[in-house]
Amino acid sequence: QIGNSSLPLDIEAETFEVLDAERHIVWLGNVHVVQGDSSLQADRMDVYYTGEGPGGGWGDIDRIVATDNVFYITPAQRARGDRGVYELAEEVITLTGDVVITQGDNVITTTRFVNNLTTGNSNFGEAGTGERVRMVLQPARSTDTTESSEAAETPEG
């Protein structure tokens, strides 16, 4: 998953703009980033580096901010939102806005989704906002395909 942040990032887009002095890159138009076996897609991405310019080096990628039609896809799950921030040093991805996460047949909707790529822990919703997290969990199918599904509402976060 986008988690092994030391891997190179392969990026496709319509436009790539470098602002050298600010150590900042802007990707526009159907942006598609692949790192390892995961990918991040959006209409726009801003990539910020740790280096201080000009004169100093560029350092490492500090964070990637994706906006509009954000998709974060890993082999295990597919999440979409309005805005996504991938902080490479902490290896944490945060999706906000109208967030929908699908894992197989399970669907989770929330306004904030935080995924720690190192520990694999995920956090849905945001305490104190009154927003509800909704989950539709499909029990694992047993061989005699007895189906039962219950919508479970869980308290916030």
Closer CB to another protein, 61 or 99, in the complex:
61
Closer CB to another protein, 17 or 105, in the complex:
17
The end-to-end CA distance of the chain, in Å, is 23
Interaction pattern, residues 18-37, with another protein; x per rule: CB under 8 A:
xxxx---x-x----------
Closer CB to another protein, 13 or 108, in the complex:
13
Q: Is 6 a binder of another protein (CB under 8 A)?
A: yes
C-alpha distance from residue 126 to each of 55, 87, 93, 120, 131 (Å): 41, 19, 15, 18, 7
Closer CB to another protein, 10 or 105, in the complex:
10
d(CA 130, CA 33) in angstroms, rounded, equals 33
- Least Å distance between CB 72 and another protein? 18
Footprint (CB under 8 A) of another protein, residues 44-73: 47, 49, 54, 57-61
Q: Is 9 a binder of another protein (CB under 8 A)?
A: yes
Inter-residue contact 22 to 53 (CB < 8 Å): yes
Q: What are phi and psi of 2, to 5 degrees?
A: -60, 90
Instruction: Give the Cβ contact number of residue 47 at 10 Å.
Output: 22
The residue within the footprint of another protein, chosen from 76, 89, 98, 139 (CB under 8 A), is 89
Closer CB to another protein, 51 or 97, in the complex:
51
Q: Give the contacts of 83 (CB within 8 A, at least 6 positions apart).
A: 65, 66, 67, 70, 95, 96, 97
Q: Is 5 a binder of another protein (CB under 8 A)?
A: yes
Contact residues for another protein (CB under 8 A)? 5-21, 25, 27, 47, 49, 54, 57-61, 88-89
